[in-house]
Amino acid sequence: MLRNYRYIQYIWRITITVSVVVMSFFSCKDKKDNLVAFAYDPDTVPTMITTDVSTLISDSGITRYRIVADVWMIYDQAKEPYWYFPEGLYFEQFAPDFEIEATVQADTAWRYTAKDLWKLRSNVHVENWKGEQFDSEELYWDGKNGKVFSEAYIEIKSGLTELKGYGFESNQTMTHYRIFRPHDGKLPFSETTPGDSLETDPGETAGMDSLAVDGE
């Protein structure tokens, strides 16, 4: 009698165990059937989003920039890693002694981190340490090669001097620059030669006049 009772208990436990396994199988199957496939595109989905940013950026232990932005989106898993500032950017560039060399503002900005290349677009405004102002709709800042350039229209104000034109190139501190196709510029009248040189580059062809300024 006891032996039969134990046998019945044994069979009952086996039955319960099998039932639980079967139910779990169908439950997992139902969950898998309800799953939606998600395709992650690292070129369009940021790995990090930060708001109300005010931070210092260093390179090799040297502070290079101070960035202020409402939204900072980082795509460091993209094929070409980059930062994106969709709601505008203000940053200051520092010299090694922490003096401000230039300030930059733009409505939209990208920084391609591997290239150390900034792309600034819409209402771009730059001011160097001398107070000279540069305004354009598009500007590129190449940190690796130490230059700033653009193919867009640009206006430059330096004291009483106003320079305008298309195609621009400068050193990184925005103190030695040239406009490749000057247009409607205004120069102050003077009977003496000014300290800064405003001259046509003899290396350019006649069809590509160049107005160069060396403020260093």
Q: How does pLDDT run along the chain (216 residues), one tens digit per residue?
A: 545 545 445 444 555 454 544 455 455 555 555 555 556 688 888 999 999 999 998 877 788 889 999 999 999 999 999 999 999 999 998 888 888 889 999 999 999 999 999 999 999 999 999 999 999 999 999 989 999 999 999 999 988 889 999 999 999 888 899 999 997 655 554 444 333 333 334 333 333 456 566 655
Q: Please report, for residues 98, 122, 142, the alpha-carbon distance to residue 160 in angstroms, rounded to integers and kept in the order given.
A: 29, 25, 29
**What's at 150, amino acid-wise?**
S
The tokens for 130 are 């001398």
Spatial contact of 134 and 127, defined as CB atoms under 8 Å apart: yes
| Spatial CA neighbour of 151 closest among 171, 131, 161, 137 | 137
Residue 167's region, left for phi above 0, alpha for psi from -120 to 50, else beta, is left
The tokens for 181 are 């196709």
The tokens for 174 are 């925005």
The Cα 6–Cα 54 span in angstroms is 74
Question: Which residues pair with residue 211 across a beta bridge?
Answer: 179, 200
CATH superfamily, with its number, for domain 48-214: Lipopolysaccharide (LPS) transport protein A like domain (2.60.450.10)
Spatial contact of 177 and 155, defined as CB atoms under 8 Å apart: no
The Cα 90–Cα 83 span in angstroms is 14
The Cα 67–Cα 69 span in angstroms is 7
* Per-residue model confidence (pLDDT) at position 148: 95
